[in-house]
Chain A
């Protein structure tokens, strides 16, 4: 997952520092997150039984995980008996191989794609590209990001880091259908994309999608979208391949009565998104239907009793839109397909021990995310748990010693000594000499970079 991004996993604080200096990104992101979270708050306030829905959503997901193998095999049986093909992939490599093989077997050299985080996670586009198969993104923001050869900066509005002029210039440069004198008006830009993609939709032979939900009892897949490119890709081509994380399984069709309320209101802040498609292994549309059930770290996440709740995520991005850290550092600082609060807990677990190790610390534990999570994932609790795991494995000797010393000092005798010590030295602590000195001390300089030690009545002149 991290490979497709920078290749090198830089620590969060380093990437964040760069992001903080990018004023356009910060302004755009703050505007986006503020707008979306206000919309979300408004439509959620309309729903009297929101808390009951959240609890049901949480419970259904956890119950589904507790019977995961049963549900997966049932889904396989239903989807297959309806005429579809089910494949199983343990990791990115296996999943990508399956997609490429299906394309090759059908002499397909170009596929259209519905926006799918799961396909980003497995770096599918790069894999196919290296084998002579073009993967064309059809979601507007994904198209923009693909043309610019960049990575998405937000799960829901991936091109938020770009303004309309940049997009106009990009289209003029890269899209044949962009007419002379194309304006920077979003409507004109979207219509250009419409024309550009329409021909692709009407002639594409193969599409790749993800799925928001997979229903075990009926073998039904569900894709939730806004633009209509999903419907195009899911309906018109002859071959459809859907890459679905195993945690997307829901036991029953009626479980959707909960999630189709939770998801639209939590993600785009709408009562319902414009288009939702449901299909099984047979019916009108593609004559060949494939599902690839993907592990890629989900099972190892399931194995962690305290971390598995992260698998309940329905990818709404509500947590990102309320996170004060994400708002200021955007998607790229997390170096993951899944950024923000959910990213901080799922990325380290999917990748495995030792990777993405700074992400669990990229939080003040303010809890705003937990408040808005539609499936009640206790993100702060899992962050703390992952911090403990990380420290046990990798904390530096100096940090461990310092923490041990602190624990010792915070016992009753230690507190008494410290209190006396501070009382004696407090005038020094707020002196300019100390401030200067501490700016060169390792940990202290981080505090002193933009803060003093505040004067209290202890050391303030009366």
Chain B
């Protein structure tokens, strides 16, 4: 099984701990990761209406990962975006979000993690409707020792990030974020987790501005955690 790790641009540049954590989780389960050069999936350009600029990026993904049977990414949105290229069926067949890879391919839900904290899961629109992860993130979180998973009210409601929407329509984005943060705060969780750092950048930025004690964390980082 030749597995490539697709870090995603946002994780390569900023949320590097998510990449390290993903690597840790996979290697702990005996997966040998083929080293590949990292590249962006082009989602931002596609969704912002610049598909021509995205094409060379997607070509590069195909090229860099051509020797892999699986492309695993800690990002439901990037995987979801890659799987929409109906004209690239071989690429589509290889792409898996981390939670899908763990549950459907490696057939594990318990990755031996510990996290003694109250956690709520933001399900993300891409997880729900594009990548269609179902409840795989929840299955993985429930198997983490010491973790108390609290359901997030209105979890299927968009957080308001939407890529460039967060800037082009920042007022509406802010209104949606306010409601999302209100729901998160109501759970009294210590951490809000999701399969997408893009949403967490927006939610985390908002929580920090409000001086909330709630922190954001990617699912991979919880799954890699073994020391409490």
Note whether A and B contact each other (Cβ less than 8 A): yes
Query: What residues of chain A have their CB less than 8 Å away from a CB belonging to chain B?
Result: 12-13, 16-17, 20, 324-325, 328-329, 360-368, 370-371, 384, 386-391, 395, 403-404, 406-407, 410-412, 415-416, 418-419, 422-423, 426, 430, 443, 446-447, 449-458
If A364-B161, A450-B174, A458-B17 touch, does A411 touch B129 (CB 8 Å cutoff)? no
The reply to whether B53 and A415 form a contact with Cβ atoms under 8 Å apart is no
Bound Cα distance A176, B13 (Å):
69
Nearest 3 interchain pairs by C-beta: A364-B162, A387-B49, A454-B204
The size of the chain B interface, using a CB distance under 8 A, is: 62
Nearest CB in chain A: distance from B224 CB, A: 12
The reply to whether A446 and B129 form a contact with Cβ atoms under 8 Å apart is no
Query: What residues of chain B have their CB less than 8 Å away from a CB belonging to chain A?
Result: 9, 12-17, 37-40, 42, 44-51, 53-54, 56-57, 60, 64, 125, 128-130, 156-158, 160-178, 200-202, 204-209, 216
Q: Is the interface of A mostly helix, strand, loop or mixed?
A: helix
If A411-B57, A458-B14, A458-B16 touch, does A361 touch B50 (CB 8 Å cutoff)? no
If A366-B158, A407-B53, A458-B14 touch, does A361 touch B169 (CB 8 Å cutoff)? yes
**Which residues of chain A come closer than 8 Å to B13, judged between CB atoms?**
415, 418-419, 422
The reply to whether B209 and A452 form a contact with Cβ atoms under 8 Å apart is yes
The reply to whether A16 and B158 form a contact with Cβ atoms under 8 Å apart is no
Nearest CB in chain B: distance from A17 CB, A: 5
Bound Cα distance A450, B204 (Å):
11
**Which residues of chain B come closer than 8 Å to A456, judged between CB atoms?**
14-17
Bound Cα distance A407, B46 (Å):
11
Closest to A447 in B: B167
The interface centre, meaning the residue of A328, A371, A454 with most chain B CB atoms within 10 A of its CB, is A454
The interface centre, meaning the residue of B49, B56, B60, B166 with most chain A CB atoms within 10 A of its CB, is B49
The reply to whether B175 and A419 form a contact with Cβ atoms under 8 Å apart is no
Bound Cα distance A443, B202 (Å):
15
Bound Cα distance A16, B175 (Å):
11
**Which residues of chain A come closer than 8 Å to B205, judged between CB atoms?**
447, 451-454
Closest to B45 in A: A407
**Which residues of chain A come closer than 8 Å to B202, judged between CB atoms?**
451
Bound Cα distance A324, B204 (Å):
20
Nearest CB in chain A: distance from B37 CB, A: 4
Bound Cα distance A365, B171 (Å):
16
If A384-B46, A390-B49 touch, does A407 touch B176 (CB 8 Å cutoff)? no
Nearest CB in chain A: distance from B189 CB, A: 16
The reply to whether A403 and B53 form a contact with Cβ atoms under 8 Å apart is yes
Closest to B171 in A: A17
Interchain Cβ contacts under 8 Å between A and B, 17 examples: A20-B172, A325-B172, A364-B165, A365-B47, A365-B162, A389-B49, A403-B53, A407-B56, A412-B38, A447-B170, A449-B170, A451-B202, A451-B209, A452-B209, A454-B204, A455-B208, A456-B17
**Which residues of chain A come closer than 8 Å to B15, judged between CB atoms?**
456, 458
Nearest CB in chain A: distance from B206 CB, A: 5
**Which residues of chain B come closer than 8 Å to A370, judged between CB atoms?**
129
Bound Cα distance A395, B209 (Å):
32
The reply to whether A384 and B49 form a contact with Cβ atoms under 8 Å apart is yes
**Which residues of chain B come closer than 8 Å to A447, judged between CB atoms?**
166-167, 170, 205
Bound Cα distance A454, B10 (Å):
13
The reply to whether A454 and B53 form a contact with Cβ atoms under 8 Å apart is no
Given A13-B172, A324-B176, A422-B13, 18 new contacts (CB under 8 A): A12-B169, A13-B168, A13-B169, A13-B171, A324-B157, A367-B129, A384-B49, A388-B50, A406-B44, A407-B42, A410-B42, A446-B170, A447-B166, A447-B205, A449-B174, A450-B170, A451-B206, A451-B209
**Which residues of chain A come closer than 8 Å to B207, judged between CB atoms?**
454
Bound Cα distance A25, B129 (Å):
29
If A364-B162, A451-B177, A454-B201 touch, does A407 touch B172 (CB 8 Å cutoff)? no
The reply to whether B172 and A16 form a contact with Cβ atoms under 8 Å apart is yes
**Which residues of chain B come closer than 8 Å to A406, judged between CB atoms?**
44-45, 53
Nearest CB in chain A: distance from B45 CB, A: 6
Bound Cα distance A455, B44 (Å):
22
Bound Cα distance A384, B162 (Å):
12
The reply to whether B48 and A415 form a contact with Cβ atoms under 8 Å apart is no
The reply to whether B172 and A328 form a contact with Cβ atoms under 8 Å apart is yes
**Which residues of chain B come closer than 8 Å to A366, judged between CB atoms?**
125, 129, 158, 162
Nearest CB in chain A: distance from B126 CB, A: 8
The reply to whether B169 and A450 form a contact with Cβ atoms under 8 Å apart is no
The reply to whether A368 and B17 form a contact with Cβ atoms under 8 Å apart is no
Nearest CB in chain A: distance from B208 CB, A: 4
Nearest CB in chain B: distance from A23 CB, A: 11
Bound Cα distance A411, B161 (Å):
23
Nearest CB in chain A: distance from B179 CB, A: 8
Bound Cα distance A297, B130 (Å):
31
Bound Cα distance A446, B44 (Å):
17
The interface centre, meaning the residue of B56, B57, B160, B205 with most chain A CB atoms within 10 A of its CB, is B205
Closest to B168 in A: A361
Closest to A412 in B: B37
Bound Cα distance A2, B57 (Å):
39
Select one of A419, A426, A454 contacting B216, CB under 8 A: A454
Bound Cα distance A364, B200 (Å):
15
